Amino acid sequence: MKQLKLLLGVIILMGWSCNNDETKYVGTVNLEASGLSDGKLAINNVATFTATVTDYYGDVANLNYRWTLDTENGELSDGVNTLANSTIAGHSMRCIGRISGDERIIVEVITENNTIIASAYVDFTIIPFADTPDGLGCYDQPKIIYQYGNSSFYVCNFDGSNAEYMGFGGLSVAISPNGKWIAYNKFDDDRMGYFAYLRNCETNETIEIPGGDGDDYSPEFSYDSKILYFLRPEPSLEENHAGGRPEDIAAYNIETGEDYFLTTLHQSDERVSKFTVSPVSNEIAFIRAGEDIQPRLSILNTESGLITDVLTLSFTPNSSMDWSPNGEDIIFSSSNIQAGKGIFRMSLVDGIGPQLIFTDLSPQSQAPINPHYYANGTHIAWTGQENGQNNFNIWSIDVNGNDLEQITSTSGNDLVQGVLE
């Protein structure tokens, strides 16, 4: 996005006092904006505003700056946290586009005696999400996304080379197909819960997904990178359910900043436990079950809201599911006395499944974790202990369950989170 710097006319206010020291407080402020394109800011993008004071006869270091958004279509930020409107801060402020519409940011320069000596403003317009060109955004090639250790997020090439720390951590993470957005959830010690965040990988600006109260899990993007899906309980539900409040599928529209629910299964005493998004149709396949209701694989049409039950399951995934790139099947891992331990495939074309395609022969009791298709659906990567080690690494097989290979060999735990390609 090209940057347009706007230098606006200045309103100068004179501060007068009764002690004949009035000239000390004369000042002029220029407000400069970067990150705008033709006076426009896309939703969830960031503009930085910098105030420069001149003709002031006191110590500029002692000045404060009060920042205010006129319509609150934007959101003030220090680059990490959302700030109140209005807020006292330094001479520079960031604004994140949140809602389409006109906006004005105002800065007032305040002396240590709480005297306003000057003010200025910039008018701009917040517009719907501006997509990036085709490609992988911030990444130079396809990646396996994984968690290393207890919380740090990494990416590596398909062969395990060039491991790269993403700069933050949490419980789970996803990268949008266009490589521009990163969604993750992490535990907030002060609020005692898991909250979801959306990060722009080009600017590192991060916003908290609105509407949650500490139970946001399993982020995953739509195939066009415009919607973030995740699991969240209805916030009005009380904590009186066995196993916690039942989760439904929630969504966040990156274009409009709107958060909403796609399912309301809690109303029938059911919950969503796992889900995956089709890279072809943008439908969502998920596992639904209740205390006295047998688990089912269901498919949600995200446009109409229609839910279709596909298969009744005698056993369910022990970790995430993944939809094949051609849209014809879904894989997951599980451990079942009758069916075995390993990676299973469910066919959506003929309704057959689940069929065991890879038998986990590891002496460890843990079944494969988070299997994901990669390399255009020709291979499957997952987290396992296939050589009997105590830690977890990333392993690979071909689409038919053959050619077992070890991708990572760290001494810690490498937990597959997803794939970018």
Among 56-60, 73-77, 88-92, 249-253, the minimum mean pLDDT is found in 56-60
- Looking at the fold, whether 8 and 114 belong to one and the same domain comes out as yes
- Looking at the fold, whether 192 and 239 belong to one and the same domain comes out as yes
For position 195, which CATH number holds? Answer: 2.120.10.30
Q: Give mean pLDDT, residues 340-368.
A: 85
Among 95-104, 161-170, 314-323, 402-411, the minimum mean pLDDT is found in 314-323
- Looking at the fold, whether 231 and 284 belong to one and the same domain comes out as yes
Give the model's pLDDT for residue 243: 63
Evaluate whether residue 355 is within a structural domain: yes
User: In 3D, which of 201, 203, 195, 165 has the Cα closest to residue 181?
Assistant: 201
Evaluate whether residue 232 is within a structural domain: yes
Evaluate whether residue 254 is within a structural domain: yes
Give the model's pLDDT for residue 275: 94
Q: Give the whole-angstrom CA distance, residue 7 versus residue 122.
A: 8
Total structural domains within the chain: 3
Give the model's pLDDT for residue 352: 76
Among 2-16, 149-163, 279-293, the minimum mean pLDDT is found in 2-16
Is it true that the peptide bond before 86 is cis, omega within 30 degrees of 0?
A: yes
User: Phi and psi dihedrals of 205, rounded to 5?
Assistant: -65, 135
Give the model's pLDDT for residue 1: 39
Confidence of residue 334 (pLDDT cuts 50, 70, 90): confident
Q: Where are the beta strands (DSSP E) in 37-177?
A: 40-42, 46-54, 64-69, 74-77, 87-89, 92-97, 101-110, 116-127, 143-148, 152-156, 164-169, 172-175
For position 30, which CATH number holds? Answer: 2.60.40.1080
- Domain range for 376 is 133-169+314-421
- Looking at the fold, whether 224 and 111 belong to one and the same domain comes out as no
The answer to whether the CB of 184 falls within 8 A of the CB of 168 is: yes
pLDDT digits (tens, 9 = 90+) for 107-164: 999 998 898 999 999 999 998 754 444 556 688 789 999 999 888 999 999 999 999 9
> Where does a domain end: 289, 324, 352?
289
- Quote the tokens at residue 266: 């809690």
> Residue 28, Cβ neighbours under 10 Å: how many?
17
- Looking at the fold, whether 159 and 214 belong to one and the same domain comes out as no
Give the model's pLDDT for residue 386: 84
pLDDT digits (tens, 9 = 90+) for 219-247: 999 999 999 999 999 877 766 655 678 89
Evaluate whether residue 296 is within a structural domain: no
Give the model's pLDDT for residue 373: 96
pTM, rounded to two decimals: 0.71
Torsion angle of alpha carbons 374, 376, 379, 381, nearest 10°? Answer: 0
- Looking at the fold, whether 231 and 273 belong to one and the same domain comes out as yes
With a cut of 50, say whether residue 23 has pLDDT above it.
Answer: no
Phi-psi category of 105—alpha, beta or left, where left has phi over 0 and alpha has psi -120 to 50? Answer: beta
Evaluate whether residue 309 is within a structural domain: no
Give the model's pLDDT for residue 205: 83
Helix (H, G, I), strand (E, B) or coil at 290: strand
Q: Please, which residues have CB within 8 angstroms of residue 339's CB and are 6 or more apart in sequence?
A: 314, 315, 354, 356
Confidence of residue 47 (pLDDT cuts 50, 70, 90): confident
- Looking at the fold, whether 154 and 190 belong to one and the same domain comes out as no
- Looking at the fold, whether 273 and 385 belong to one and the same domain comes out as no
- Looking at the fold, whether 113 and 8 belong to one and the same domain comes out as yes
Q: Give mean pLDDT, residues 371-384.
A: 94
Evaluate whether residue 300 is within a structural domain: no
- Looking at the fold, whether 31 and 106 belong to one and the same domain comes out as yes
> Where does a domain end: 250, 274, 289?
289
For the chain, the average pLDDT equals 85
Give the model's pLDDT for residue 135: 58
Q: Give the whole-angstrom CA distance, residue 93 versus residue 333.
A: 47
> Where does a domain end: 64, 93, 127?
127
- Looking at the fold, whether 97 and 43 belong to one and the same domain comes out as yes
One-letter identity of residue 73: N
Evaluate whether residue 226 is within a structural domain: yes
The answer to whether the CB of 341 falls within 8 A of the CB of 360 is: yes
Evaluate whether residue 299 is within a structural domain: no
- Looking at the fold, whether 123 and 153 belong to one and the same domain comes out as no
The answer to whether the CB of 201 falls within 8 A of the CB of 179 is: yes
With a cut of 80, say whether residue 22 has pLDDT above it.
Answer: no
